[in-house]
């Protein structure tokens, strides 16, 4: 899928979409990047699917322009816009939102606990880090 490795594919989804594409819920049909992406697009709501497709398109175009490659499919962008138009309508029963890649509240708790160790003397701070 594009030029992603499994690791960079997961990173792309975490950083660009705040979604965990490596979540087992998206591996129902298999673990390849394409199968996980298809499952993701079927599982999440229309807005999240559209964001993912737009982000992937933007990445694709950035790479293509940077490398100076020509467009292989003349109407690829039009096809994407048609697809986005079809899925952009209102949902009767919205599907679940993707799980965030990072639980912000847990992250904040861990961050605060780590910062609380900084004013301690070296030995207690070391024990605190060991238990952390």
Write the DSSP string, the chain. -TT--HHHHHHHHHHHH---TTSGGGGTT-SSHHHHHHHHHHHS-HHHHHHHHHHHHHHHHHHHHHHTPPPSSTTHHHHHHHHHHHHSSPPSSPPPPPPPSS-HHHHHHHHHHHHHHTTS-HHHHHHHHHH-
pLDDT for the residue 94: 43
Are residue 72 and residue 129 in the same domain, yes or no?
no
Same structural domain for residues 61 and 73? yes
User: Is 1 part of any domain?
Assistant: no
Between 23 and 103, residue with greater pLDDT: 23
How many domains in the chain? 2
Same domain for 56 and 117?
no
Kindly state whether residue 94 falls inside one of the protein's structural domains: yes
pLDDT of amino acid 98: 65
* Together in a domain, 90 and 124: no
Confidence of residue 127 (pLDDT cuts 50, 70, 90): confident
Whether 24 and 36 share a structural domain: yes
Are residue 109 and residue 81 in the same domain, yes or no?
Answer: no
31 band by pLDDT with thresholds 50, 70 and 90: very high
93 pLDDT tier (thresholds 50, 70, 90): very low
Same domain, 81 and 127: no
Residues 113, 86 share a domain: no
14: containing domain: 6-101
Q: Please compute the mean of the pLDDT values over residues 96-108 and round it to a whole number.
A: 71
Q: Which of the pair, 84 or 19, is modelled with greater confidence?
A: 19
């Amino acid at each position: 899928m594009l030029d992603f490795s499994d690791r960079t594919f997961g990173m792309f989804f975490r950083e660009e979409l705040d979604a965990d594409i490596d979540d087992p819920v998206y591996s129902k049909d298999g673990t390849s990047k394409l199968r996980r992406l298809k499952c993701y697009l079927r599982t999440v709501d229309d807005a999240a699917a559209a964001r993912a497709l737009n982000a992937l398109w933007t990445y694709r175009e950035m790479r293509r322009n940077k490398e100076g490659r020509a467009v292989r499919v003349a109407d690829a962008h039009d096809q994407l816009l048609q697809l986005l138009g079809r899925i952009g309508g209102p949902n009767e029963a919205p599907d679940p939102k993707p799980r965030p890649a990072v639980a912000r509240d847990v992250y904040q708790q861990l961050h605060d606990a780590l910062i609380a160790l900084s004013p301690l003397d070296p030995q207690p701070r070391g024990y605190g880090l060991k238990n952390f």
